[in-house]
Amino acid sequence: MPRHHQQRNARGGASLGQAWATGKYAEAGGSAGTEDDVDTDSECRTGATKCSVPLAMWDLGQCDRKRCTGTRLVQQGQVRELRLGQHFPGVILSPAGTRCVSREDEELIRAKGLAVVDCSWNRLDDVPFERIKGAAPRLLPWMVAANPVNYGKPSKLSCAEAFAAALYICGLKEDAISVMSRFKWGHSFFSTNQQLLERYSACPTAAAVISAQSLCPLVGARMRMTMRKGDYTRSGQLARPKGGVLVPGSEPEWAEGATGGSAEGC
């Protein structure tokens, strides 16, 4: 049975502040730590609770493990590491996805969990997607990274940020907070993307998320351009996989300053 009543979803900045495990969500909101924080701040913060849904990750070894937030979450027992070829029954955040994550995925995430593919966008040709098995690969909409390594860069979300973004968008806001409360800089991901996250989480379908994304001033013109090129169907699916919508460690060809992406600092 869905655990709707067991999840107290925080709404708005004030509620998020109350839900933050240490009660300090708003402090220094928008500031990032230093690159050293990636290596030293990953211990669980006081009062942090475990996510209520299963989290998992395929680690393809393409990034610096000392800086990988996904690796840290695995070490903390918050995320289960998957083997190539191992099937995951829940939602998978993957560059191979053709549909944007949305509230349509909430029940599946609650029941079966959420997984990420920890890989580098500029090494997609090296990723054996045929061995990453699951029925629900998904992409993330446009957001800005707040991790110390890639702070302020569009799309370059860490694994932890990718988990938190998908959970938030699907209505599991306290679980998103639980993930990010394990990092000293975690609050800045929410303060940086607050309006976008609220906008996306209010969308009932993948198509609505794509429409909401196109209204973002920083990405709207380019998104409308790619939609005119036929990249998206009316249902919110990508007609051309691996392009247009951002995923962990990626940047699309139309993003300002695009470099092809990197999983560094993930």
d(CA 152, CA 167): 21
User: What's the one-letter identity of residue 119?
Assistant: C
Phi/psi of residue 226, nearest 5 degrees:
-70, -35
Measure the CA–CA gap between 220 and 158, rounded to whole angstroms: 23
Q: Are 114 and 166 in contact (CB under 8 A)?
A: yes
Q: Can you read off the two tokens belonging to residue 147?
A: 């991790």
Find residue 58's DSSP bridge partners.
Answer: 82, 117
Tokens 């973002």 found at? 216
Residue 56: its H or E element: strand 55-59
Question: Using an 8 Å Cβ cutoff, are 246 and 139 in contact?
Answer: yes
Q: Give the separation between CA 175 and CA 23, rounded to whole angstroms.
A: 15
Residue 262 has pLDDT above 70, yes or no: no
140 assigned to a ligand binding site: yes
pLDDT of residue 169: 98
Highest mean pLDDT among 103-107, 209-213, 229-233, 244-248: 103-107
The pLDDT of residue 26 is 42
Higher-scoring residue by pLDDT: 53, 220:
53
Pairing of strands 136-138, 91-93: parallel
117 marked as binding residue: yes
CA atoms within a 13 Å half-sphere pointing along the CA-CB vector of 265: 21
205 is in an annotated binding site: no
For the question of whether the overall pTM of this predicted structure is more than 0.75, the answer is: no
Look at the alpha carbons of 138, 211, 154, 49 in this order and tell me if their dihedral is positive or negative. negative
Mean predicted confidence (pLDDT) in 67-72: 80
164-204 residue pLDDT tens:
999 999 999 999 999 999 999 899 999 999 989 999 999 99
DSSP classification of residue 103: G
